[in-house]
């Protein structure tokens, strides 16, 4: 450790840190474009110039290591004048297109021009024009005029993604960012270059020109694309998710997120094919019914079967709260021991960065809260075999489209009664006697447990409209009027969907059980008091960074003791 002084304040810092890192660690922000905490130092932009006493000239804070007794000035007149000169230089050929730039509101150049520039330019010549809307790859567009040559995107591809696909060509003010000959920017993490680009040079082809950042709300949640559980923001305007971006968590995904998680895990939420209301099969055709009627029908039908004739299939896509209530219902109300879920592992689709072969967000949590065969109970394959042999006659499925496998679909056709909780029409719902519309991950509170045993919060970023179809005609007409008015601000289908735990608790109540939960947090409180590995947890303690399961915490402590000198 060494002692340094920054702007008149003394700090003890690690002697391996640079000035910009030491300042940042102590709440002092030094402006920067090319520096990034997870990338190598380039020293391209020079905006981080600071004065160090006893040195003959200003130094760049990003590459200058601290030394004992060092005295640093980050905002004296000499430094301010240097920053203004750097900003003037960077803005000489930069286009004045902030009004149409996707980066507006998130742009470092825009912010620094306001905070650190002189506010005027002496340059009155014609700006150099470069190519616009360059397709670097299938997901990223480049507006070359906006590029300030910070090289962040190049270093990311080289050092993090492990795919050297970008480079600079030409010299001076004719420098251009481009891909190597024969290459396209198509690595699985290419869209991280958009996030780390400090200006609007790199933009998302999917999100381009859809919304301004200040028009959207950003909800802290978890990506459901695989067992990693990347922390992310869900960006919403008019009740529609428009984009998803990574949220920093050093223990899970740092600053990054894969392209699949960004693009393929939210568009279904506002899909027009959402199941909008409960459906029951009447005379071989599914008919929309009210929630009271649907739940009563499910409860009355399940009562006609013996406990060993019923099986339950949970889901690794459902939350810990959903699966816990489902397990409790299956074992304590239905009395079945036949409970399991269908793993969804895509062998070979995994890397050393973020991607996991397990393409579900909560397989670990599903097992922990009890979605597994009980004593003498059957696994998923065993359940399918027992259905085929006529031993199991009723099945309750939570979320998963198990009938996507044609073999499973043929087996399910022999059931006497099939109940499915699902958000979307699929092969399994087409076989169901009752379909109960469920909320997606973006519409409910809850927790997922990632592959390492870290419990993390999901939060609703969009809302669903729950209609009570048992209301009289006057009340329904008022709701219809409200629905038509709400179309002015809310896009997507008006849904009569509920979280899984709420649906299952409703059926349980009609079968004589007392599941008294008002919120997902109520369910989690019961989990933390009854499931050993969740003991001591709460939503408040989990916070926005997550919390390791109890046994994982103990294992980490044991490992630390074993490896300590």
pLDDT number for residue 432: 96
pLDDT at residue 344 is higher than 90:
yes
Class of domain 2-91 (CATH, top level): alpha beta
pLDDT number for residue 552: 60
- Topology of 279-560 in CATH? Rossmann fold (3.40.50)
How far lies 179's CA from each of 35, 56, 95, 508, in Å?
Answer: 22, 40, 22, 59
CATH number of 98-103+124-263: 3.30.70.20
Percent pLDDT > 90 in the chain is 84
φ/ψ (deg, to 5) at 65? -80, 145
pLDDT number for residue 466: 47
Q: Average pLDDT in the 514-530 region?
A: 95
pLDDT at residue 330 is higher than 70:
yes
Q: Average pLDDT in the 343-369 region?
A: 95
Q: Name the H helices within 178-275.
A: 192-196, 259-263
Residue with tokens 């509101």: 105
pLDDT at residue 553 is higher than 70:
no
Nearest CA-CA partner of 321 in 99, 57, 538: 538
Q: What are the extents of the domains in the chain?
A: 2-91, 98-103+124-263, 279-560
pLDDT at residue 523 is higher than 60:
yes
Q: How many CB atoms lie within 10 A of CB 143?
A: 21
Q: Average pLDDT in the 241-269 region?
A: 96
Structural contact between residues 344 and 357, judged by C-beta atoms closer than 8 angstroms: no
pLDDT, tens only, 79-127: 999 999 999 999 999 998 999 999 999 999 999 999 998 888 888 888 8
Q: Comparing 115-119, 232-236, 557-561, which segment has the lowest mean pLDDT?
A: 557-561
pLDDT number for residue 250: 96
pLDDT number for residue 472: 39
pLDDT, tens only, 432-454: 999 999 999 999 999 999 999 99
pLDDT, tens only, 447-481: 999 999 999 999 999 988 544 433 334 333 433 44
């Amino acid at each position: 450790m060494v002692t340094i002084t920054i702007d008149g304040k003394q700090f003890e810092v690690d002697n391996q840190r640079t000035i910009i890192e030491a300042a940042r660690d102590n709440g002092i922000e030094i402006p920067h474009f090319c520096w990034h905490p997870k990338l190598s130092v380039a020293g391209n932009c020079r905006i981080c110039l600071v004065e160090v006493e006893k040195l003959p000239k200003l130094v760049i804070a990003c590459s200058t290591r601290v030394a004992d007794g060092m005295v640093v000035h980050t905002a004296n007149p000499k430094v301010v004048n240097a920053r203004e000169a750097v900003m003037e230089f960077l803005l000489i050929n930069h286009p004045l297109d902030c009004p149409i730039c996707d980066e507006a509101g998130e742009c470092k150049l825009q912010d620094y021009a306001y905070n650190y520039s002189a506010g005027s330019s002496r340059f009155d010549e014609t700006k150099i024009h470069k190519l616009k809307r360059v397709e670097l790859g299938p997901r990223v567009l480049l507006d070359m005029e906006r590029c300030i040559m910070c090289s962040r995107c190049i270093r990311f591809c080289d050092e993090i993604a492990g795919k050297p696909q970008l480079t600079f060509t030409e010299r001076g003010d004719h420098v251009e960012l481009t891909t190597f000959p024969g290459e396209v920017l198509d690595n699985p993490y290419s869209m991280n270059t958009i996030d780390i680009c400090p200006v609007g040079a790199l933009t998302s082809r999917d999100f381009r020109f859809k919304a301004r950042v200040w028009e959207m709300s950003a909800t802290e949640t978890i990506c459901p694309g695989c067992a990693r559980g990347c922390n992310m923001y869900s960006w919403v305007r008019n009740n529609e998710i428009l984009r998803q971006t990574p949220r920093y968590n050093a223990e899970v995904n740092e600053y990054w997120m894969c392209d699949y998680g960004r693009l393929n895990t939210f568009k279904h939420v506002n899909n027009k094919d959402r199941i909008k209301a409960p459906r029951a099969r009447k005379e071989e055709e599914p008919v929309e019914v009210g929630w009271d009627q649907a739940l009563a029908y499910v409860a009355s039908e399940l009562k006609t079967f013996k406990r060993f004739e019923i099986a339950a299939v949970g889901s690794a896509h459902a939350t810990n709260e959903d699966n816990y209530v489902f397990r409790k219902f299956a074992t304590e109300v239905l009395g079945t021991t036949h409970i399991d879920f269908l793993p969804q592992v895509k062998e070979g689709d995994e890397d050393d960065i973020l991607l996991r072969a397990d393409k579900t967000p909560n397989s670990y949590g599903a097992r922990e809260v009890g979605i597994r065969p009980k004593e003498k109970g059957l696994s998923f394959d065993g359940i399918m075999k027992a259905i085929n042999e006529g031993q199991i006659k009723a099945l309750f499925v939570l979320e998963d489209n198990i009938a996507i496998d044609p073999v499973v679909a043929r087996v399910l056709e022999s059931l006497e009664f099939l109940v499915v909780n699902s958000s979307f029409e699929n092969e399994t719902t087409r076989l169901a006697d009752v379909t109960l519309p469920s909320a997606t991950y973006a519409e409910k509170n809850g927790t997922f447990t990632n592959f390492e045993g870290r419990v993390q919060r999901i939060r609703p970023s969009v809302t669903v409209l729950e209609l009570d179809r048992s209301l009289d005609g006057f009340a329904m007409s008022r709701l219809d009027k409200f629905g038509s008015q709400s179309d002015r601000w809310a896009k997507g289908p008006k849904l009569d969907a509920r979280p899984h735990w709420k649906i299952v608790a409703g059926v349980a109540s009609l079968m004589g059980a007392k599941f008294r939960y008002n919120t997902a947090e109520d369910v989690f409180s019961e989990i933390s008091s009854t499931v050993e590995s969740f003991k001591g947890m709460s939503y408040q303690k989990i916070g926005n960074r997550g919390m390791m399961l109890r046994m994982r915490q103990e294992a980490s402590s044991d490992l630390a003791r074993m490896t300590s000198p």
